[in-house]
């Protein structure tokens, strides 16, 4: 069995043993459900309900605006209490539809139907409000509508799950391999020249064996084993590992004949196309050393993060750090009384903030940040240019190629926060380019 990989990367403590054996458990939301209208890349959805309206499960509460946007649906039945800005986990305020859950879970009739034709499949994915559920939040129907569909040669399903502690994709592969394979088969029906690849890290051998058993009757689908290393599941690093093709920051995967989708996204596609089911829930890993019972939960979008922490038994003492997503690329949570969104892959609670406890010292020119950088740039030099506001030098030294993976900060013995400096500069350069 060949094990594929990319150049660079790091091996952080995996932490997956905490939750990997916990089967996915469905939890119902509490009394109040907060549905953010902007939980995807692109224009926020526009509310389709008003205060006092009664909504049903699968009822649309937000309509996509423009080409890059996504619909929002209710996971509960109940009355709309408010349409107002609410704080999200990242501290930003976003317009939301707030529903008082009546606990009846009365269902709306199917909001869309799919007859299996290409147009109908794409329409179902669009209508269902599916976005990249690995955290990117890019509307999936746009991703699956490249300019030249005939040039797409590989549909890659990202089962690497390279972020430490995360086990939701692993549980999906163990518990519902048929949904993943069938979801990928649906995507393949849109691209007649494409092959399907499910890429899984070699720390999940049981998932590899299980998935292999389910692809036997699908001759366009194969399983590729990738080396356990962070950021193996990054779009660029995954494409490099499984197809040996390379993209840079100016290119899309489709430019090299590839489309990459996350495991949960593929499952959502299956549900939309086969069951006319809009995206109203997702799998969230709740873990970390400050959580009593680490687990994998199927959670409705709009559920309070505080409620799902309770579902995991609550805290073991006071956590110093709570993160939405993985520890390498996730974002610190400002307030746990904020809602789960379509992009919330994990809630991680740690008793110690490992980053805050180290003070940065001077660079000792050890070169380790260069060795681990999967974008093959010079992180120490880029961070210096970023800190001094040298935009031209930053761009000249390929600062925009950074994928913000965090490997350089992780490995740096001087504990320099290289990623943050580079990330801030990238954001400002990209924003000024847009203007
Ligand atoms: S410079 Fe960017 S891509 Fe390279 S290691 Fe640092 S964060 Fe990752
Ligand atoms: S890893 Fe840290 S100390 Fe080493 S060269 Fe990079 S910035 Fe300097």
Beta bridge partners of 224: 199
Say which ligand is closest to the CA of 230.
1
Q: Tell the residue nearest (CA) to atom 8 of ligand 1.
A: 405
Look at residue 432 and tell me whether its pLDDT is greater than 90. Answer: no
Say which ligand is closest to the CA of 419.
1
At residue 356, the pLDDT reads: 67
* Residue 47 near residue 95, CB atoms below 8 Å: yes
For the beta sheet containing 60-63, the strands, ordered from the edge strand earlier in sequence to the opposite edge, are 46-47, 60-63, 72-73
Tokens of 421: 């400096």
Q: Look up the pTM and report it.
A: 0.94
- ∠ CA 210-212-217, nearest 5°, is 120
What's the N-to-C CA distance of the chain in angstroms? 49
Share of the chain above pLDDT 70, in %: 99
DSSP state of 16: G
C-alpha dihedral sign at 191, 260, 264, 21: positive
Report CA(378)–ligand 2 centroid distance (Å). Answer: 10
* Cβ contacts of 250 within 8 Å, gap of 6 or more: none
- Render pLDDT for 237-287 as a digit per residue (tens, 0 to 9): 999 999 999 999 899 999 999 999 999 999 999 999 999 999 999 999 999
- Render pLDDT for 402-419 as a digit per residue (tens, 0 to 9): 999 999 999 999 999 999
Where does residue 351 fall: left (phi above 0), alpha (psi -120 to 50 degrees), or beta otherwise?
Answer: alpha
- Domains parsed from the chain with CATH numbers: 3-20+112-275 (3.40.50.11540), 368-434 (no CATH)
Nearest to 172 by CA among 141, 140, 127, 204: 204
At residue 431, the pLDDT reads: 86
Query: 3-state SS of the chain: helix, strand, coil percent to 5?
Result: 30, 20, 50
Nearest to 90 by CA among 403, 343, 354, 423: 343
Q: Tell the residue nearest (CA) to atom 7 of ligand 2.
A: 380
Report CA(411)–ligand 2 centroid distance (Å). Answer: 8
Distances (CA, A) of 256 to 122, 195, 432: 22, 14, 27
Q: Where does the pLDDT of residue 136 fall: very low under 50, low under 70, confident under 90, or very high at 90 and above?
A: confident
Task: Report d(CA 344, CA 333) in Å as an integer.
Answer: 11
At residue 212, the pLDDT reads: 94
Report CA(403)–ligand 1 centroid distance (Å). Answer: 6
Beta bridge partners of 83: 97
Q: Tell the residue nearest (CA) to atom 8 of ligand 2.
A: 363
Tokens 């998935």 appear where? 211
- With the most atoms of ligand 2 within 8 angstroms of its CB, the residue from 358, 387, 408, 416 to mutate is 416
Look at residue 135 and tell me whether its pLDDT is greater than 80. Answer: no
Give the position, in ligand 2's atom list, of the atom nearest the Cα of 362. Answer: 3
Q: Tell the residue nearest (CA) to atom 3 of ligand 1.
A: 402
Could you count the other beta carbons within 10 Å of the beta carbon of residue 177?
18
Task: Report d(CA 401, CA 422) in Å as an integer.
Answer: 10
Tokens of 398: 């390929």
Task: Report d(CA 97, CA 37) in Å as an integer.
Answer: 7
| Residue 152 Cβ contacting ligand 1 at under 6 Å | no
- Render pLDDT for 22-58 as a digit per residue (tens, 0 to 9): 999 999 999 999 999 998 888 999 999 999 999 999 9
- ∠ CA 91-95-99, nearest 5°, is 105
- Render pLDDT for 323-360 as a digit per residue (tens, 0 to 9): 999 999 999 998 999 999 999 999 999 998 876 667 88
* Residue 157 near residue 244, CB atoms below 8 Å: no
Task: Report d(CA 175, CA 24) in Å as an integer.
Answer: 8
3-state secondary structure 253-306: HHHHCEEEEEHHHHHHHHHHHHHCCCCCEEEEEEECCCECCCEEEEEECCCEHH
> How much is the average pLDDT of 218-222?
96
């Amino acid at each position: 069995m060949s094990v594929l990989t990319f150049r660079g990367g790091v091996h952080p403590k995996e932490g997956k043993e905490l939750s990997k054996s916990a089967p996915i458990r469905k939890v119902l939301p509490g009394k109040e459900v907060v549905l953010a209208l902007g939980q995807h890349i692109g224009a926020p959805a526009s509310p389709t309900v008003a205060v006092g309206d009664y909504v049903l499960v699968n009822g649309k509460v937000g309509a996509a605006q423009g080409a890059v946007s996504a619909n929002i649906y209710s996971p509960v039945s109940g009355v709309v209490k408010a349409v107002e800005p609410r704080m999200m986990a990242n501290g930003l305020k976003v317009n939301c539809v707030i529903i008082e859950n009546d606990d009846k879970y009365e269902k709306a009739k199917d909001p869309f139907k799919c007859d299996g034709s290409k147009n109908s499949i794409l329409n179902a994915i669009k209508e269902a409000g599916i976005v990249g559920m690995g955290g990117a939040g890019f509307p999936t129907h746009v991703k699956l509508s490249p300019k030249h569909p005939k040039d797409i040669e590989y549909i890659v399903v990202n089962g690497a799950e390279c972020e430490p502690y995360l086990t939701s994709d692993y549980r999906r592969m163990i518990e519902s391999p048929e949904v993943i394979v069938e979801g990928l088969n649906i995507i393949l029906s849109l691209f007649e020249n494409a092959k399907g690849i499910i890429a899984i890290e070699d720390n999940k051998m049981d998932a590899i064996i299980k998935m292999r058993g389910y692809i036997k009757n699908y001759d366009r689908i194969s399983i590729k084993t990738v080396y356990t290393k962070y950021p193996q599941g990054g779009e660029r690093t995954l494409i490099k590992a499984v197809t040996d093709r390379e993209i840079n920051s100016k290119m899309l995967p489709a430019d090299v004949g590839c489309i990459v989708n996350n495991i949960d996204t593929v499952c959502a596609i299956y549900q939309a196309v086969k069951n006319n089911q809009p995206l109203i829930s997702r799998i969230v890993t709740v873990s970390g050393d400050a959580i009593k019972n680490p687990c994998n939960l199927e959670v409705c979008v709009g559920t309070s993060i505080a409620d799902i922490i309770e579902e995991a038994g609550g805290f073991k003492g006071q956590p110093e750090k709570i993160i939405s997503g993985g520890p390498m690329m996730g974002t610190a949570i400002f307030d746990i009384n904020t809602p789960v969104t379509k992009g919330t892959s994990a809630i991680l609670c740690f008793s110690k903030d490992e980053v805050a406890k180290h003070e940065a010292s001077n660079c000792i020119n050890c070169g380790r940040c260069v060795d681990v950088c999967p974008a093959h740039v010079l992180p120490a030099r880029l961070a210096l240019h970023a800190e001094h506001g040298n935009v031209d030098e930053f761009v000249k030294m390929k600062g925009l190629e950074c994928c913000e993976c965090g490997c350089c900060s992780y490995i740096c013995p001087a504990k320099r926060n290289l990623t943050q400096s580079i990330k801030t500069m990238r954001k400002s350069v990209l924003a000024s380019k847009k203007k």
